Structure 1
Protein backbone atom coordinates (compact mmCIF):
# COMPACT_ATOMS: atom_id res chain seq x y z
CA UNK A 1 0.00 0.00 0.00
CA UNK A 2 1.14 3.56 -0.68
CA UNK A 3 1.70 5.80 2.32
CA UNK A 4 -1.70 7.13 3.44
CA UNK A 5 -2.51 10.83 3.60
CA UNK A 6 -4.84 10.28 6.55
CA UNK A 7 -5.01 7.82 9.45
CA UNK A 8 -8.43 7.47 11.08
CA UNK A 9 -8.05 6.34 14.69
CA UNK A 10 -11.12 4.73 16.29
CA UNK A 11 -10.94 3.79 20.00
CA UNK A 12 -13.49 1.12 20.97
CA UNK A 13 -14.50 -1.01 23.91
CA UNK A 14 -17.44 -3.42 23.61
CA UNK A 15 -18.85 -1.85 20.44
CA UNK A 16 -19.50 -5.01 18.42
CA UNK A 17 -22.76 -3.75 16.95
CA UNK A 18 -21.16 -0.53 15.71
CA UNK A 19 -17.99 -1.88 14.07
CA UNK A 20 -19.11 -2.78 10.56
CA UNK A 21 -21.58 0.10 10.00
CA UNK A 22 -19.05 2.69 11.17
CA UNK A 23 -16.22 1.26 9.06
CA UNK A 24 -18.44 1.49 5.97
CA UNK A 25 -19.27 5.12 6.74
CA UNK A 26 -15.60 6.03 7.30
CA UNK A 27 -14.66 4.42 3.99
CA UNK A 28 -17.35 6.34 2.11
CA UNK A 29 -16.36 9.64 3.74
CA UNK A 30 -12.59 9.28 3.22
CA UNK A 31 -12.60 7.84 -0.32
CA UNK A 32 -12.35 11.32 -1.97
CA UNK A 33 -9.28 12.19 0.12
CA UNK A 34 -6.98 9.64 -1.52
CA UNK A 35 -5.08 6.89 0.26
CA UNK A 36 -6.15 6.42 3.89
CA UNK A 37 -5.96 3.86 6.66
CA UNK A 38 -8.31 3.02 9.52
CA UNK A 39 -6.81 2.04 12.87
CA UNK A 40 -9.20 0.46 15.33
CA UNK A 41 -7.81 0.32 18.86
CA UNK A 42 -9.68 -2.32 20.86
CA UNK A 43 -9.36 -1.27 24.48
CA UNK A 44 -9.78 -4.69 26.07
CA UNK A 45 -13.24 -5.57 24.76
CA UNK A 46 -14.88 -8.67 26.23
CA UNK A 47 -17.80 -8.88 23.79
CA UNK A 48 -17.76 -9.79 20.07
CA UNK A 49 -15.80 -6.67 19.05
CA UNK A 50 -12.56 -8.62 18.27
CA UNK A 51 -14.48 -11.06 16.06
CA UNK A 52 -16.23 -8.24 14.20
CA UNK A 53 -12.90 -6.52 13.59
CA UNK A 54 -11.28 -9.75 12.38
CA UNK A 55 -14.12 -10.27 9.90
CA UNK A 56 -13.75 -6.71 8.62
CA UNK A 57 -9.96 -7.03 8.30
CA UNK A 58 -10.28 -10.08 6.04
CA UNK A 59 -11.45 -7.93 3.12
CA UNK A 60 -9.89 -4.55 3.94
CA UNK A 61 -6.12 -4.09 3.60
CA UNK A 62 -6.49 -0.48 4.78
CA UNK A 63 -7.92 -1.61 8.14
CA UNK A 64 -5.45 -2.17 10.98
CA UNK A 65 -6.34 -3.39 14.46
CA UNK A 66 -4.45 -2.79 17.70
CA UNK A 67 -5.58 -4.46 20.91
CA UNK A 68 -4.99 -3.54 24.54
CA UNK A 69 -4.99 -6.72 26.60
CA UNK A 70 -6.52 -4.78 29.49
CA UNK A 71 -8.66 -1.66 29.30
CA UNK A 72 -6.57 1.50 29.65
CA UNK A 73 -9.12 4.18 28.70
CA UNK A 74 -9.97 6.25 25.64
CA UNK A 75 -6.95 8.56 25.77
CA UNK A 76 -4.61 5.57 25.93
CA UNK A 77 -6.38 4.01 22.94
CA UNK A 78 -6.09 7.20 20.89
CA UNK A 79 -2.41 7.43 21.81
CA UNK A 80 -1.75 3.84 20.73
CA UNK A 81 -3.41 4.57 17.40
CA UNK A 82 -1.51 7.83 16.88
CA UNK A 83 1.83 6.16 17.58
CA UNK A 84 1.08 3.41 15.07
CA UNK A 85 -0.35 5.76 12.41
CA UNK A 86 1.54 6.07 9.11
CA UNK A 87 -0.05 9.32 7.86
CA UNK A 88 0.93 12.91 8.74
CA UNK A 89 -2.69 13.71 9.60
CA UNK A 90 -4.77 11.82 12.16
CA UNK A 91 -8.54 11.91 12.40
CA UNK A 92 -10.01 10.71 15.69
CA UNK A 93 -13.61 9.53 15.93
CA UNK A 94 -15.57 7.81 18.68
CA UNK A 95 -16.43 4.17 18.05
CA UNK A 96 -20.08 4.41 19.13
CA UNK A 97 -21.33 6.01 15.91
CA UNK A 98 -22.40 9.31 17.46
CA UNK A 99 -19.72 11.19 15.49
CA UNK A 100 -20.64 11.32 11.80
CA UNK A 101 -17.63 10.43 9.59
CA UNK A 102 -19.12 12.51 6.78
CA UNK A 103 -17.57 15.59 8.45
CA UNK A 104 -13.99 14.26 8.27
CA UNK A 105 -13.19 15.82 4.84
CA UNK A 106 -14.37 19.23 6.07
CA UNK A 107 -12.08 19.02 9.10
CA UNK A 108 -9.13 17.98 6.92
CA UNK A 109 -9.79 20.85 4.51
CA UNK A 110 -10.05 23.41 7.33
CA UNK A 111 -6.76 22.25 8.89
CA UNK A 112 -4.89 22.33 5.58
CA UNK A 113 -6.34 25.74 4.67
CA UNK A 114 -5.08 27.15 7.98
CA UNK A 115 -1.49 26.22 7.12
CA UNK A 116 1.34 24.53 9.04
CA UNK A 117 1.00 26.89 12.02
CA UNK A 118 -2.35 25.26 12.76
CA UNK A 119 -2.05 22.00 14.68
CA UNK A 120 -5.65 20.92 15.19
CA UNK A 121 -9.11 21.16 13.69
CA UNK A 122 -11.72 20.28 16.32
CA UNK A 123 -15.31 19.37 15.69
CA UNK A 124 -17.90 21.31 17.66
CA UNK A 125 -21.28 19.66 18.07
CA UNK A 126 -24.13 22.00 17.23
CA UNK A 127 -26.45 19.87 19.35
CA UNK A 128 -26.36 16.87 21.67
CA UNK A 129 -28.82 14.00 21.47
CA UNK A 130 -30.66 13.89 24.77
CA UNK A 131 -31.33 16.75 27.21
CA UNK A 132 -29.21 15.26 29.98
CA UNK A 133 -26.17 14.90 27.73
CA UNK A 134 -26.67 18.45 26.47
CA UNK A 135 -26.73 19.66 30.08
CA UNK A 136 -23.57 17.70 30.87
CA UNK A 137 -21.77 19.23 27.91
CA UNK A 138 -22.81 22.79 28.74
CA UNK A 139 -21.61 22.48 32.32
CA UNK A 140 -18.30 20.78 31.48
CA UNK A 141 -17.42 23.06 28.57
CA UNK A 142 -18.41 26.19 30.47
CA UNK A 143 -16.08 25.30 33.34
CA UNK A 144 -13.21 24.46 30.96
CA UNK A 145 -13.57 27.76 29.11
CA UNK A 146 -13.48 29.78 32.33
CA UNK A 147 -10.50 27.97 33.85
CA UNK A 148 -8.36 27.45 30.74
CA UNK A 149 -9.40 30.61 28.84
CA UNK A 150 -10.17 28.31 25.93
CA UNK A 151 -12.50 29.62 23.22
CA UNK A 152 -13.48 26.11 22.12
CA UNK A 153 -17.20 25.58 22.67
CA UNK A 154 -17.06 21.79 22.75
CA UNK A 155 -13.76 20.22 23.77
CA UNK A 156 -15.38 16.84 24.40
CA UNK A 157 -16.26 16.12 20.78
CA UNK A 158 -14.35 13.02 19.67
CA UNK A 159 -14.22 14.13 16.02
CA UNK A 160 -10.90 15.91 15.44
CA UNK A 161 -8.10 16.10 12.87
CA UNK A 162 -4.63 16.73 14.25
CA UNK A 163 -1.13 16.77 12.81
CA UNK A 164 0.56 13.60 14.03
CA UNK A 165 3.83 15.33 14.95
CA UNK A 166 1.89 17.86 17.02
CA UNK A 167 -0.12 15.20 18.82
CA UNK A 168 3.01 13.26 19.76
CA UNK A 169 4.56 16.21 21.61
CA UNK A 170 1.51 16.75 23.83
CA UNK A 171 1.90 15.73 27.50
CA UNK A 172 0.13 12.39 27.93
CA UNK A 173 -2.35 11.69 30.72
CA UNK A 174 -5.73 10.03 31.07
CA UNK A 175 -8.48 12.21 29.51
CA UNK A 176 -5.97 14.00 27.23
CA UNK A 177 -8.51 13.72 24.41
CA UNK A 178 -10.81 16.14 26.27
CA UNK A 179 -8.18 18.89 26.54
CA UNK A 180 -6.47 18.74 23.15
CA UNK A 181 -7.38 22.28 21.96
CA UNK A 182 -5.88 23.91 25.08
CA UNK A 183 -2.76 21.74 24.96
CA UNK A 184 -2.18 22.26 21.23
CA UNK A 185 -2.41 26.01 21.85
CA UNK A 186 0.06 25.58 24.72
CA UNK A 187 2.59 24.21 22.21
CA UNK A 188 2.33 27.36 20.09
CA UNK A 189 -0.05 26.08 17.39
CA UNK A 190 -3.39 27.56 16.45
CA UNK A 191 -6.68 25.65 16.51
CA UNK A 192 -9.59 25.91 14.08
CA UNK A 193 -13.13 24.59 14.49
CA UNK A 194 -15.80 23.07 12.28
CA UNK A 195 -19.43 22.64 13.33
CA UNK A 196 -20.56 19.01 13.24
CA UNK A 197 -23.80 17.26 14.08
CA UNK A 198 -24.28 14.79 16.89
CA UNK A 199 -26.48 11.76 16.30
CA UNK A 200 -27.78 8.80 18.31
CA UNK A 201 -25.62 5.76 18.91
CA UNK A 202 -25.79 3.15 16.18
CA UNK A 203 -26.01 0.39 18.82
CA UNK A 204 -25.30 -0.29 22.50
CA UNK A 205 -25.40 2.03 25.50
CA UNK A 206 -23.13 4.76 26.86
CA UNK A 207 -20.46 3.71 29.34
CA UNK A 208 -20.27 7.12 31.03
CA UNK A 209 -22.37 9.02 33.53
CA UNK A 210 -22.18 12.58 34.75
CA UNK A 211 -20.60 11.75 38.11
CA UNK A 212 -18.13 9.31 36.52
CA UNK A 213 -16.60 12.28 34.72
CA UNK A 214 -17.21 15.07 37.21
CA UNK A 215 -14.73 14.31 40.01
CA UNK A 216 -11.97 12.98 37.76
CA UNK A 217 -12.59 15.90 35.39
CA UNK A 218 -11.98 18.42 38.17
CA UNK A 219 -8.55 16.91 38.88
CA UNK A 220 -7.70 16.77 35.17
CA UNK A 221 -8.73 20.40 34.76
CA UNK A 222 -6.46 21.44 37.61
CA UNK A 223 -3.59 19.52 36.05
CA UNK A 224 -4.06 21.09 32.61
CA UNK A 225 -4.32 24.56 34.18
CA UNK A 226 -0.96 23.88 35.90
CA UNK A 227 0.63 22.68 32.65
CA UNK A 228 -0.46 25.81 30.81
CA UNK A 229 0.74 28.08 33.61
CA UNK A 230 4.16 26.38 33.61
CA UNK A 231 4.70 26.96 29.88
CA UNK A 232 6.45 30.31 29.68
CA UNK A 233 7.79 30.46 26.15
CA UNK A 234 7.57 28.10 23.18
CA UNK A 235 11.04 27.62 21.68
CA UNK A 236 11.23 28.43 17.98
CA UNK A 237 14.10 26.11 17.13
CA UNK A 238 15.83 25.53 13.80
CA UNK A 239 18.96 23.64 12.86
CA UNK A 240 21.94 25.65 11.60
CA UNK A 241 23.81 24.01 8.76
CA UNK A 242 27.05 25.07 7.08
CA UNK A 243 28.05 23.98 3.59
CA UNK A 244 31.38 22.09 3.81
CA UNK A 245 34.20 23.85 1.98
CA UNK A 246 35.94 22.07 -0.85
CA UNK A 247 39.14 20.37 0.28
CA UNK A 248 42.17 22.52 -0.45
CA UNK A 249 44.68 21.12 -2.92
CA UNK A 250 48.18 21.13 -1.45
CA UNK A 251 51.26 21.16 -3.78
CA UNK A 252 53.97 18.57 -3.23
CA UNK A 253 57.71 19.18 -3.77
CA UNK A 254 57.57 17.20 -7.01
CA UNK A 255 54.98 19.61 -8.36
CA UNK A 256 52.12 17.17 -8.10
CA UNK A 257 49.14 17.88 -5.87
CA UNK A 258 47.39 15.91 -3.20
Structure 2
Protein backbone atom coordinates (compact mmCIF):
# COMPACT_ATOMS: atom_id res chain seq x y z
CA UNK A 1 0.00 0.00 0.00
CA UNK A 2 1.25 3.49 -0.70
CA UNK A 3 1.84 5.36 2.54
CA UNK A 4 0.73 8.83 3.58
CA UNK A 5 4.22 9.12 5.07
CA UNK A 6 6.53 9.11 2.03
CA UNK A 7 9.51 8.14 4.18
CA UNK A 8 7.81 4.99 5.52
CA UNK A 9 8.38 2.52 2.71
CA UNK A 10 9.33 -1.14 2.51
CA UNK A 11 9.92 -1.39 -1.24
CA UNK A 12 11.40 1.06 -3.72
CA UNK A 13 10.66 0.74 -7.45
CA UNK A 14 13.44 2.22 -9.58
CA UNK A 15 12.71 3.08 -13.21
CA UNK A 16 15.58 4.35 -15.38
CA UNK A 17 14.17 6.42 -18.23
CA UNK A 18 15.35 8.54 -21.14
CA UNK A 19 12.96 10.13 -23.65
CA UNK A 20 9.96 7.99 -22.70
CA UNK A 21 7.35 10.74 -22.34
CA UNK A 22 4.52 8.65 -23.78
CA UNK A 23 5.22 5.71 -21.49
CA UNK A 24 5.45 7.50 -18.14
CA UNK A 25 1.79 7.78 -17.10
CA UNK A 26 0.62 4.31 -18.26
CA UNK A 27 3.54 2.56 -16.58
CA UNK A 28 3.07 4.36 -13.26
CA UNK A 29 -0.59 3.37 -13.24
CA UNK A 30 0.38 -0.26 -13.84
CA UNK A 31 2.98 -0.19 -11.07
CA UNK A 32 0.38 1.18 -8.66
CA UNK A 33 -2.16 -1.45 -9.72
CA UNK A 34 0.40 -4.20 -9.06
CA UNK A 35 1.57 -2.97 -5.64
CA UNK A 36 -1.32 -1.10 -3.98
CA UNK A 37 -2.46 -2.97 -0.88
CA UNK A 38 0.62 -5.22 -0.80
CA UNK A 39 3.55 -3.08 0.39
CA UNK A 40 4.34 0.44 1.46
CA UNK A 41 6.25 1.55 -1.61
CA UNK A 42 7.74 4.44 -3.51
CA UNK A 43 8.42 4.87 -7.23
CA UNK A 44 11.70 6.51 -8.19
CA UNK A 45 12.08 7.64 -11.79
CA UNK A 46 15.66 8.39 -12.77
CA UNK A 47 15.49 10.80 -15.68
CA UNK A 48 18.70 10.03 -17.56
CA UNK A 49 19.18 13.23 -19.55
CA UNK A 50 15.81 13.23 -21.35
CA UNK A 51 15.29 15.92 -23.98
CA UNK A 52 11.57 15.33 -24.52
CA UNK A 53 8.55 15.87 -22.24
CA UNK A 54 9.52 13.09 -19.81
CA UNK A 55 10.44 15.51 -16.96
CA UNK A 56 7.27 17.57 -17.44
CA UNK A 57 5.08 14.47 -17.44
CA UNK A 58 6.72 13.23 -14.25
CA UNK A 59 6.21 16.60 -12.58
CA UNK A 60 2.50 16.55 -13.42
CA UNK A 61 2.05 13.10 -11.89
CA UNK A 62 4.13 13.95 -8.80
CA UNK A 63 1.50 16.55 -7.92
CA UNK A 64 -1.01 13.70 -7.61
CA UNK A 65 1.22 10.99 -6.10
CA UNK A 66 3.25 11.65 -2.97
CA UNK A 67 5.09 8.34 -3.40
CA UNK A 68 6.55 9.30 -6.80
CA UNK A 69 10.06 10.77 -6.82
CA UNK A 70 12.20 12.10 -9.66
CA UNK A 71 15.98 12.12 -9.88
CA UNK A 72 17.72 13.87 -12.77
CA UNK A 73 20.98 13.22 -14.59
CA UNK A 74 21.95 16.42 -16.40
CA UNK A 75 23.36 14.31 -19.25
CA UNK A 76 22.66 10.71 -20.21
CA UNK A 77 24.94 8.39 -18.24
CA UNK A 78 23.49 5.01 -19.21
CA UNK A 79 21.22 2.44 -17.63
CA UNK A 80 23.60 1.14 -14.96
CA UNK A 81 24.33 4.66 -13.70
CA UNK A 82 20.61 5.46 -13.63
CA UNK A 83 19.79 2.30 -11.68
CA UNK A 84 22.57 3.01 -9.20
CA UNK A 85 21.37 6.59 -8.64
CA UNK A 86 17.90 5.27 -7.95
CA UNK A 87 19.08 2.56 -5.56
CA UNK A 88 21.25 5.03 -3.64
CA UNK A 89 18.23 7.31 -3.19
CA UNK A 90 15.87 4.45 -2.30
CA UNK A 91 14.30 4.30 1.16
CA UNK A 92 13.10 0.71 0.93
CA UNK A 93 15.13 -2.27 2.14
CA UNK A 94 14.11 -4.10 -1.05
CA UNK A 95 14.52 -2.47 -4.45
CA UNK A 96 12.86 -3.62 -7.65
CA UNK A 97 13.71 -2.31 -11.11
CA UNK A 98 12.02 -2.29 -14.49
CA UNK A 99 12.65 -0.55 -17.79
CA UNK A 100 10.72 2.62 -18.55
CA UNK A 101 9.64 1.67 -22.07
CA UNK A 102 6.62 -0.40 -21.02
CA UNK A 103 7.95 -3.72 -22.29
CA UNK A 104 8.44 -4.99 -18.71
CA UNK A 105 5.03 -5.78 -17.21
CA UNK A 106 4.74 -4.49 -13.61
CA UNK A 107 2.30 -7.34 -12.87
CA UNK A 108 5.38 -9.51 -12.22
CA UNK A 109 6.81 -7.18 -9.56
CA UNK A 110 5.00 -8.86 -6.63
CA UNK A 111 6.52 -12.28 -7.44
CA UNK A 112 10.01 -10.79 -7.72
CA UNK A 113 9.71 -8.82 -4.48
CA UNK A 114 8.20 -11.75 -2.56
CA UNK A 115 11.06 -14.03 -3.65
CA UNK A 116 13.56 -11.71 -1.98
CA UNK A 117 11.38 -10.97 1.04
CA UNK A 118 10.73 -14.65 1.75
CA UNK A 119 14.27 -15.80 0.99
CA UNK A 120 15.48 -15.69 4.58
CA UNK A 121 18.45 -13.53 3.61
CA UNK A 122 19.72 -16.11 1.12
CA UNK A 123 18.29 -14.50 -2.03
CA UNK A 124 20.49 -11.70 -3.31
CA UNK A 125 18.63 -11.28 -6.58
CA UNK A 126 15.27 -12.18 -8.02
CA UNK A 127 15.61 -11.95 -11.79
CA UNK A 128 12.97 -11.86 -14.48
CA UNK A 129 13.60 -14.09 -17.50
CA UNK A 130 11.67 -13.14 -20.60
CA UNK A 131 9.49 -15.56 -22.52
CA UNK A 132 7.77 -14.67 -25.77
CA UNK A 133 10.16 -11.77 -26.24
CA UNK A 134 8.83 -8.96 -28.45
CA UNK A 135 11.93 -8.03 -30.42
CA UNK A 136 13.31 -8.31 -33.92
CA UNK A 137 14.91 -11.56 -35.02
CA UNK A 138 18.31 -9.87 -35.00
CA UNK A 139 17.89 -8.65 -31.43
CA UNK A 140 16.82 -12.11 -30.30
CA UNK A 141 19.84 -13.64 -32.00
CA UNK A 142 22.30 -11.18 -30.50
CA UNK A 143 20.80 -11.76 -27.03
CA UNK A 144 21.11 -15.53 -27.38
CA UNK A 145 24.73 -15.23 -28.45
CA UNK A 146 25.60 -12.74 -25.69
CA UNK A 147 23.87 -14.81 -23.00
CA UNK A 148 25.53 -18.03 -24.18
CA UNK A 149 29.01 -16.48 -24.17
CA UNK A 150 28.48 -14.86 -20.77
CA UNK A 151 27.18 -18.06 -19.20
CA UNK A 152 30.01 -20.13 -20.67
CA UNK A 153 32.60 -17.83 -19.08
CA UNK A 154 30.92 -16.84 -15.81
CA UNK A 155 28.74 -19.92 -15.18
CA UNK A 156 26.08 -17.70 -13.64
CA UNK A 157 23.23 -20.09 -14.48
CA UNK A 158 21.16 -17.29 -16.01
CA UNK A 159 19.71 -17.40 -19.52
CA UNK A 160 18.57 -13.76 -19.68
CA UNK A 161 20.43 -11.01 -17.84
CA UNK A 162 19.05 -8.26 -20.09
CA UNK A 163 15.57 -8.25 -18.55
CA UNK A 164 15.00 -5.05 -16.57
CA UNK A 165 12.66 -6.75 -14.08
CA UNK A 166 14.77 -7.48 -11.00
CA UNK A 167 14.51 -7.26 -7.23
CA UNK A 168 17.25 -7.32 -4.61
CA UNK A 169 18.16 -6.15 -1.11
CA UNK A 170 19.33 -2.55 -1.36
CA UNK A 171 22.42 -3.10 0.76
CA UNK A 172 23.50 -6.15 -1.26
CA UNK A 173 23.35 -4.12 -4.48
CA UNK A 174 25.30 -1.20 -3.06
CA UNK A 175 28.05 -3.59 -1.93
CA UNK A 176 28.68 -4.58 -5.56
CA UNK A 177 31.69 -3.06 -7.37
CA UNK A 178 30.23 -0.40 -9.65
CA UNK A 179 30.96 -0.14 -13.38
CA UNK A 180 29.00 0.73 -16.49
CA UNK A 181 27.09 -2.39 -17.49
CA UNK A 182 26.78 -3.69 -13.92
CA UNK A 183 23.08 -4.46 -14.35
CA UNK A 184 23.89 -7.24 -16.86
CA UNK A 185 26.24 -9.03 -14.49
CA UNK A 186 24.24 -8.97 -11.26
CA UNK A 187 23.62 -12.75 -11.15
CA UNK A 188 27.35 -13.57 -11.36
CA UNK A 189 28.31 -10.88 -8.86
CA UNK A 190 25.59 -11.84 -6.37
CA UNK A 191 26.72 -15.47 -6.57
CA UNK A 192 30.27 -14.24 -5.97
CA UNK A 193 29.06 -12.80 -2.66
CA UNK A 194 27.46 -16.11 -1.66
CA UNK A 195 23.83 -15.26 -2.44
CA UNK A 196 21.32 -17.48 -4.22
CA UNK A 197 19.39 -16.28 -7.27
CA UNK A 198 15.64 -16.73 -7.77
CA UNK A 199 14.15 -16.70 -11.26
CA UNK A 200 10.71 -15.61 -12.39
CA UNK A 201 9.47 -16.15 -15.95
CA UNK A 202 7.96 -12.91 -17.25
CA UNK A 203 6.00 -12.15 -20.40
CA UNK A 204 7.61 -9.58 -22.66
CA UNK A 205 5.42 -6.91 -24.28
CA UNK A 206 5.72 -4.63 -27.29
CA UNK A 207 6.88 -1.08 -26.61
CA UNK A 208 3.89 1.24 -26.07
CA UNK A 209 5.47 4.28 -27.74
CA UNK A 210 8.83 5.80 -28.62
CA UNK A 211 11.99 4.09 -29.83
CA UNK A 212 14.74 2.09 -28.13
CA UNK A 213 17.55 4.10 -26.54
CA UNK A 214 20.00 1.20 -26.40
CA UNK A 215 22.03 -0.06 -29.35
CA UNK A 216 24.08 -3.20 -29.84
CA UNK A 217 27.27 -2.35 -31.66
CA UNK A 218 27.99 0.70 -29.48
CA UNK A 219 28.13 -1.66 -26.45
CA UNK A 220 29.75 -4.71 -28.05
CA UNK A 221 33.43 -4.15 -27.25
CA UNK A 222 32.75 -2.49 -23.90
CA UNK A 223 30.58 -5.50 -23.02
CA UNK A 224 33.40 -7.88 -23.86
CA UNK A 225 35.79 -5.98 -21.60
CA UNK A 226 33.18 -5.95 -18.82
CA UNK A 227 32.74 -9.71 -19.20
CA UNK A 228 36.40 -10.46 -18.65
CA UNK A 229 36.56 -7.88 -15.87
CA UNK A 230 33.79 -9.71 -14.00
CA UNK A 231 35.51 -13.05 -14.70
CA UNK A 232 38.66 -11.62 -13.10
CA UNK A 233 36.71 -10.42 -10.04
CA UNK A 234 35.18 -13.87 -9.57
CA UNK A 235 38.57 -15.59 -9.92
CA UNK A 236 40.11 -13.25 -7.35
CA UNK A 237 37.38 -13.76 -4.76
CA UNK A 238 38.59 -15.43 -1.57
CA UNK A 239 36.36 -16.88 1.15
CA UNK A 240 35.56 -14.41 3.89
CA UNK A 241 37.64 -15.39 6.93
CA UNK A 242 35.92 -16.18 10.19
CA UNK A 243 36.97 -13.40 12.55
CA UNK A 244 36.90 -14.08 16.28
CA UNK A 245 37.52 -11.40 18.86
CA UNK A 246 39.84 -12.44 21.66
CA UNK A 247 39.08 -11.00 25.09
CA UNK A 248 40.92 -11.34 28.37
CA UNK A 249 39.32 -11.48 31.79
CA UNK A 250 40.97 -10.78 35.12
| TM-score, reference length from structure 2 | 0.92
Change (3 A) 1:209 1:234: same
From 149, 169, 174, the equivalent of 1:168 is 174
From 124, 127, 143, the equivalent of 2:149 is 143
Q: CA RMSD in A?
A: 1.9
Cα drift, residue 236 of structure 1: 5.6
More moved, 59-68 vs 185-194: 185-194
Q: Is 1:70 matched up with 2:75? A: yes
Q: Alpha-carbon deviations, 1:170-190, whole Å to 9, x = none? A: 000001011111111111111
Is the partner of 1:114 in helix, strand or coil?
Answer: coil
Cα drift, residue 216 of structure 1: 1.5
Match of 1:52 in 2: 57
Counterpart contact for 1:188–1:234, Cα < 8 Å: no
Q: Alpha-carbon deviations, 1:111-162, whole Å to 9, x = none? A: 2232212111011111321222221211111111001011011111110000
Q: Distance in 1 between matches of 2:113 and 2:246?
A: 34
Q: Distance in 1 between matches of 2:243 and 2:13?
A: 30
Counterpart contact for 2:189–2:234, Cα < 8 Å: yes
Match of 1:252 in 2: none
Q: Is 1:184 matched up with 2:190? A: yes
Q: Is 1:89 matched up with 2:77? A: no
Counterpart contact for 1:127–1:197, Cα < 8 Å: yes
Q: Distance in 2 between matches of 1:237 and 1:49?
A: 50
| TM-score, reference length from structure 1 | 0.89
Counterpart contact for 2:154–2:188, Cα < 8 Å: yes
From 107, 128, 132, the equivalent of 2:133 is 128
Match of 2:111 in 1: 106
More moved, 131-140 vs 84-93: 131-140
Larger Rg: 1
Cα drift, residue 237 of structure 1: 6.1
Q: How many residues align?
A: 243
Counterpart contact for 1:41–1:78, Cα < 8 Å: yes
Q: Where in structure 1 are there 5+ consecutive unaligned residues?
A: 243-258
Cα drift, residue 207 of structure 1: 1.9
